[in-house]
Amino acid sequence: MRDLIVTQNVTLDGVIDASEGWFDVGDADQSDVIAAIGEQSAAADAVLLGRVTFEEMRGFWPHQTDDPTGVSDYLDAVSKYVVSRTLDDPAWQHTTVLRGPLRDEIETLKAQSGKDIVATGSMTLVRELIAERLVDEYRLFVYPVVLGRGRRLFEDEAAAARFRLVETRPFTSGIVLLRYRAD
């Protein structure tokens, strides 16, 4: 059975809304963060996205010609699943639109053979996955920033849960990766 992994960039105060551009660490060396993302990509063969995040990524990544991070090549090759009731033609290779009940669609994906399935961005979808208790692991890249406002990963009692810490990894930029398994 495959694991569903939620990977998010998050501030110290739990904000995941990236509209403020807070995840720019300036000139700090991020080679260790890029290596960690590469490790996670190697362990996953599917990406799960909500429609809005999918459309944003589709509008950006396929057009990158000089991407030293490898994200563009990875996204072109990996299976992409987009949860949407309105998207007709995904217009990105290796993409499947999921229209059925969320729990059924995700349980079917998790039952298939393969590597991890990663959900990233997609705030509305991720909150639905959390509420349905479908997430196996959280990989949080915590940035040394406090905003005091913004949409958070866990916002209400539907998200109440306990987690088991499986890894902490600090990076030279001040970012820290926290990995938690859902119990």
pLDDT in tens, 34-64: 899 989 999 999 999 999 999 999 999 888 8
As a residue count, the chain comes to: 183
- pLDDT class of 165 with cuts at 50, 70, 90: very high
- pLDDT class of 106 with cuts at 50, 70, 90: very high
What residue ranges define each of the domains in the chain, with the CATH number in brackets? Answer: 4-182 (3.40.430.10)
Q: What is the residue type of 115?
A: K
Percentage of the residues of the chain whose pLDDT score is greater than 70: 98
Is the pLDDT confidence value at 132 over 70?
yes
Q: Strands across the sheet with 79-83, in order?
A: 95-98, 79-83, 44-50, 116-120, 4-11, 137-143, 176-182, 163-170
Is the pLDDT confidence value at 157 over 70?
no
Between 7 and 72, name the one with better pLDDT: 7
- pLDDT class of 98 with cuts at 50, 70, 90: very high
pLDDT of residue 48: 98
pLDDT of residue 149: 87
Q: Is the CB of residue 61 less than 8 Å from the CB of residue 94? A: no
Between 132 and 158, name the one with better pLDDT: 132
- pLDDT class of 158 with cuts at 50, 70, 90: low
pTM score = 0.91
| Rounded average pLDDT over 106-134 | 94
pLDDT of residue 22: 73
